[in-house]
Amino acid sequence: MKEFLTKVGSPVGLHARPASLFAKAAKESGCRVSLAKVSEDGTESPLVDGVSLLKIMALGIKCCETIKVQVEGENEEAAAAALQAIVESTEH
């Protein structure tokens, strides 16, 4: 399993378009993807399914907030890199 912490780069946070891109990439990766919101004090929300747009948006993740992503499967390294790029992008 590959696990990483990253900060959200999109000005709108992980909402609508960026969340949709994340969920689509998670689904296409063929890996099991989960994510959680990490508060400033280090506490984490419960993990949610990374292919569920509604569950991702329900986390209410804003710009510059930290998330934890877990990726498990055959192509986890490539999938993790692609998902991290989506989360950190400021282009959404």
Examine the residue annotation and report whether 92 is marked as an active-site residue of this protein.
Answer: no
Token readout for 23 is 């969920």
* Euclidean distance between CA atoms 13 and 25, whole angstroms: 17
Return the amino acid letter for 38.
V
Largest CA distance in the chain: 33
* Euclidean distance between CA atoms 76 and 33, whole angstroms: 9
* Euclidean distance between CA atoms 3 and 91, whole angstroms: 24
Of the residues 15, 26, 56, 61, only one is catalytic, namely 15
Active-site residues, by number, are: 15
